[in-house]
Chain A
Amino acid sequence: MNTNKNMSEVKLMKGNEALAEAAIRAGCKGYFGYPITPQSEIIEYLAEVGRERGMVVMQVESEVAAINMVYGAAGAGARAMTSSSSPGISLMQEGLSYIACAELPCLVVNINRGGPGLGTIQPSQGDYFQAVKGGGHGDYHLIVLAPASVQEMADFVFDAFDLADKYRNPVMILADGALGQMMEKVQFKKYNPEEHKVDKLWATTGKEKSRERNVITSLFIQPEKMEQVNLHLMKKYKEIEKKEVRYELLETDDAEILLVAYGLSARICHRAMELAREQGVRVGMLRPITLYPFPYNALRSLRDNIKAALVVEMNAGQMVEDVRLGIEGKAHVEFFGRMGGIIPSPEEVFEKIMKLDARLSNMTLKDIITSEIRHSHVSYRSVRKKL
């Protein structure tokens, strides 16, 4: 890795700092934020080194103001971002809905902490639904990237800005307090923002005589016009779902049990998988990297070869619903989660795998599938083929 000329030297950094450094290198020109644990290192890092490297860095009066400043800055054609943690991201939902409808490219970082309410400052994945299902009002999607290491906390910033510009869509990096606070090795890839620049002819930079005025708005008062905007957005989301799904597969070739986990819980599952493999249990793993668009197709191609999926999250069971949608009753689906800011240990997950394996070996394939039908209300006919 060290010899790769496309990478910088190896550094030891916190996840939040690596993300902030990547934002500067990605050509982000405006950061607007409000302090909240466990992500304040982002604004602190940028306040220290961002300004001298050409970035406007502002601590403002609220998350509400911050997201609307991102709206203004992105609408003016600049790469702009904000970051926060769960309660602060809730305050930004109105602005995100407007940004999605006005099609403004920007980056929003959520360093997820435990909730609901003021909750805890410890890590959590409890904001999955909010991030991937909309969050604010109306029909829209953010593109959601879920890093699982400090290296990815940096790498995904570049991807996020490129995706945002490509689709004129807000992108969220959804990590958690542990990924934000942990220190790991990181290398920054060579990235010249000039080479990634796209023409933003729609931006409000001042009306030249040669063109009509540019208006950035999410107001379409005529129902027929609003529906046209909705249809345009749906078309864009379809394209994103077709082209931008990212995931990682580990040891799935012979897997009977498929772990499904993202972010920090994927790292825990990785270790649990190794422990189970040592015991001869055939375990594989699917790690969704884009949470929206979700890798349903990966599940569709795996579901016929596995007996069961075990979904591990740091919440009460959110992504598991998407896993069920992908598996469509063709394998057993179980969930294991910890909440309250508690991180599950590899041993806990290992234990769940072993128990699941023991149960599965006492069940026939028919038992497994009929049990899943009971759980997920999938019709018997839809899974009959597999029997």
Chain B
Amino acid sequence: MNEILTSAMNTAEILDGMECVWEKPETLVDVKMHYCPGCGHGVAHKVLMEVVEELGVQNETIGVAPVGCSVFAYNYMNVDMQEAAHGRAAAVATGIKRMLPDKYVYSYQGDGDLAAIGTAETMHAANRGENILVIFINNAIYGMTGGQMAPTTLLGMKTSTTPFGRDTESQGFPFKITDLIAQLPGAYYVTRQAVHTPNGVRKFKKAVQTAFQHQKEKKGYCLIEVVSNCPSGWKMTPVVSNKWMEENMFPVYPLGDLKLNGKLVND
């Protein structure tokens, strides 16, 4: 678009005659996000906050931000939030929830935070059946620190700390922590989603709604893994990264429900 023309028009003029199909919910702060173009974080933030808005529970929701790319989540999510130390979001969320059992408490964490340094806190919060929602963004890489290996990095995948590709001898296997958590009796709802297509976004939103409903009914621990891309860390364009994700990530981390209403889906 012609830049000079755009700058000469104000927002109202640009929108004149157009139909408004989406408005930023009040639960999202009206600022630019720092996420890279094509990253899944922005979509996941948006969907989560839409659900909070639609349920009318902004004043009853407390979020916990991790260390990782979403460390600044509280700059975008317009709810009360606590910033946790690296890996400790599940413990911080436990502390909040046990003091305020009638509020909605969620943590929003990446793969390094949740499945490496925070494994103990993650597993034990699930095993206690903490009435919290954990949103787990799995992009198989440490995005914020510049593209190092994550516990979920695929075999053969090149990162800045696995320059020749991840090999099992020195780095072990991709850690399918969501599958492990599904086995725990305290986990009530465990699902794996993606937000790179409109259909995926709709399913993720449904999952968030389900988890909030479970939390309201004090059913126990809910985990939503979002298999996501990292165009910058993977060194791909957004479009290529999404295709790469479908072809390489989904076979290892297949989408779908792992546990529904406290029952394993494959049983």
Contacts and interface: CB of A to CB of B under 8 A. Distances in A.
Interface of A: 29-30, 32, 56, 58, 60-62, 64-66, 68-78, 80, 94-95, 98, 102, 204-209, 213-219
Contacts of A214: 80-81
B62 A76 contact: yes
Interface in B197-233: none
Interface in B75-103: 78-85, 88, 91-100, 103
B79, B83, B96 — most chain A CB neighbours (10 Å): B96
A213 B81 contact: yes
A217 B92 CA distance: 12
A362 to B, nearest CB: 57
A71 B92 contact: yes
Nearest to A97: B85
Contacts of B124: 60-61, 65
B59 A68 contact: no
Contacts of A74: 95
The 10 closest A-B pairs by CB, nearest first: A72-B95, A217-B83, A69-B95, A204-B80, A68-B91, A73-B95, A72-B92, A68-B88, A61-B124, A78-B99
Contacts of B74: 213, 215, 217
A32 B99 CA distance: 12
Nearest to B120: A61
Contacts of A78: 99
Interface in B44-92: 58-62, 64-65, 71, 74, 78-85, 88, 91-92
B79 to A, nearest CB: 5
B95 A76 contact: yes
Contact of A213 (B78, B85, B88, B93): B78
Contacts of A98: 85
Contacts of B246: none
Contact of B100 (A61, A66, A76, A216): A76
Contacts of A95: 85, 88
B257 interface: no
Contact of A205 (B80, B93, B94, B97): B80
Given A94-B85, A95-B85, A218-B83, A207 B96 contact: no
A80, A207, A217 — most chain B CB neighbours (10 Å): A207
Contacts of A206: 58-62, 79-80, 100, 103
A204 B81 CA distance: 6
B59 A219 contact: no
Contacts of A205: 62, 80, 100, 103
B85 A68 contact: yes
B88 A64 contact: yes
A285 to B, nearest CB: 41
Nearest to B95: A72
B64 A72 contact: yes
Q: Per DSSP, are chain A's interface residues mostly helix, strand or loop, or mixed?
A: mixed
A69 B98 contact: yes
9 contacts: A61-B120, A65-B120, A69-B98, A71-B82, A72-B82, A72-B93, A207-B58, A207-B61, A214-B80
A196 to B, nearest CB: 18
Given A76-B62, A204-B62, A32 B83 contact: no
A72 B100 CA distance: 10
B78 A204 contact: no
A68 B107 CA distance: 13
Contacts of A32: 95
A32 B121 CA distance: 13
Given A68-B85, A207-B59, A217-B82, A62 B99 contact: no
Contact of A216 (B58, B78, B82, B91): B82
Contact of A71 (B71, B78, B95): B95
Given A56-B98, A61-B120, A207 B85 contact: no
Contacts of A68: 84-85, 88, 91-92, 95, 121
A72 B85 contact: no
B80 A207 contact: yes
A320 B104 CA distance: 50
Contact of A56 (B65, B99, B121): B99
A65 B91 contact: yes
B82, B84, B93, B97 — most chain A CB neighbours (10 Å): B82
Contacts of B60: 206
Nearest to A75: B82
Given A72-B94, A204-B82, A216-B81, 4 more contacts: A64-B91, A69-B94, A69-B95, A207-B80
A252 to B, nearest CB: 45
Contacts of B92: 68-69, 71-72, 75
A200 to B, nearest CB: 12
Contacts of B58: 206-207
A65 B125 CA distance: 10
A29 B91 contact: no
Nearest to B104: A206
A74 B99 CA distance: 9
Given A213-B79, A216-B81, A72 B96 contact: yes
A76 B85 contact: no
Contacts of A29: 99
Nearest to A104: B82
A248 B78 CA distance: 50
